[in-house]
Amino acid sequence: MNDTDLAASFAIFAAKQRRADEVTPDHILLGCLRAISRFGIATLGPWSLDLEALGVDWVRQPDGLRPKVAYSAEAVELFDRAARIAKSARESGVGVNHLLAAFATEEGGLMGELKRAHGITSASWRAAVARLGQGETNGTNSGAESKRDRAGSEARSAREYLTPEEAAEALGIHVQTMRAYIRSGRLPAFRLAGERAIRLLRSDLEKVLEPLQGEKKEE
Amino acid sequence: MSFFVVKRDLPGITPEALQSAGIRAKSCCAEMTGEGQPVRWVRSFYLPETAQTHCYFEAASKSAVEEANQRARIPFTQIVEVVEMTPDMV
């Protein structure tokens, strides 16, 4: 599941939780923010947007709850706009950054509220989203790590779902050790529906961490 | 599980709109699968000469495929079950 699929899944979940008839652009914005968030905070440029303040239970995972919802016509327009933005950027796939950029001109709904509450303009939003896609440039890049590598690293560190290889890297252990944790059940893992691919929740990684008690002095 | 082809007439459709529809189809199939009604979008073919699209889905029923397309808000003209045949099978 890529970040766009994740954002769409969260958007549908947000619509279901709110008992909405349709998935609207508001739900898609919430889905995008959740997809880029960490610990319930979506950081975009100078703004730290608290998902809890937006009514999102950021710990709860999509669970296939009914009722059924369909995309609204406005949501379809938003996806179309994001695809056009991706094309204009000469990028083959539609990412969360393209979806977020598609909200830049929105004045109504949740985006309008965020604009008014945080002083966000179309230009400042697009600038923040652009940095999200490319990584911050702070002039300290020694050349050992390319911008693309850093952008990929930032994107991975913001994701809630990890591959076994990424999870192993996050804990600084060998991937075979990670797979052993999964096999033994010490770490919960999920299989993508109909696929062989396995994903782990970032927040679950702490389950294999045991606090050191320190060596007890002999009495 | 059976295979179904979803036929669409999409005159004037742009590649970007097709991409947008693909994202919506994927997410709705994943959602329905999560709900316990498995639907999988297998692949699609766009026929530029006729502006038609043939999209192949795998599901337990035609109604599941129909629902996935309705949820994704992708228009269609017909959904029919197909029998798969590959060169390896003959």
Please list every residue in chain A whose beta carbon sits closer than 8 Å to the beta carbon of residue B17: 80, 83
3-state secondary structure of A78: helix
* Chain mean pLDDT for chain A: 82
Place of tokens 């914005």: A29
Searching chain B, which residue's CA lies closest to the CA of residue A5? B27
* Chain mean pLDDT for chain B: 94
Please list every residue in chain B whose beta carbon sits closer than 8 Å to the beta carbon of residue A61: none
CB contact under 8 A, B19 and A83: yes
**DSSP state letters, chain B:** -EEEEEEEE-TT--HHHHHHHHHHHHHHHHHHHHTT--EEEEEEEEETTTTEEEEEEEES-HHHHHHHHHHTT---SEEEEE----GGG-
The answer to whether residue A187 scores a pLDDT higher than 80 is yes
* Beta strands B52-59; B78-82: pairing state: unpaired
Q: Which ipTM score applies to this complex?
A: 0.89
Q: What was the pLDDT predicted at A138?
A: 35
pTM above threshold 0.80 = no
Preceding peptide of A67 cis, ω within 30°:
yes
Decide if B20 touches A, using CB distance below 8 A: yes
CA separation (Å) from A74 to A86, A108, B43?
18, 12, 26
User: What pLDDT digit, counting tens, does each position of B39-64 carry?
Assistant: 999 999 999 899 999 999 999 999 99
* Beta strands A70-71; A22-23: pairing state: parallel
What are the E-state strand segments in A36-99? 41-44, 47-50, 70-71
C-alpha A126/C-alpha A100 separation (Å) is 8
Decide if A114 touches B, using CB distance below 8 A: no
Q: What was the pLDDT predicted at A193?
A: 74
Decide if A117 touches B, using CB distance below 8 A: no
Query: Amino acid identity of B18?
Result: L
CB contact under 8 A, A12 and B31: yes
Searching chain B, which residue's CA lies closest to the CA of residue A86? B16
Residue A71 in contact with residue A23, Cβ under 8 Å?
yes
Q: What was the pLDDT predicted at A136?
A: 40
User: What pLDDT digit, counting tens, does each position of A133-150 carry?
Assistant: 565 433 333 333 344 444
Q: What was the pLDDT predicted at A156?
A: 56
Find the range with the poorest average confidence among A134-138, B26-30, B81-85. A134-138
Measured between CB atoms, which of B16, B27, B73 is closest to A9? B27
Task: List Cβ neighbours of A12 (8 Å cut-off, separation of 6 or more).
Answer: A23, A27, A31, A62, A69, B27, B28, B31
The answer to whether residue A218 scores a pLDDT higher than 70 is no
Nearest in space to A78 (alpha carbons), one of A21, A128, A34, A30: A30
Sign of CA dihedral A38, A42, A44, A45: negative
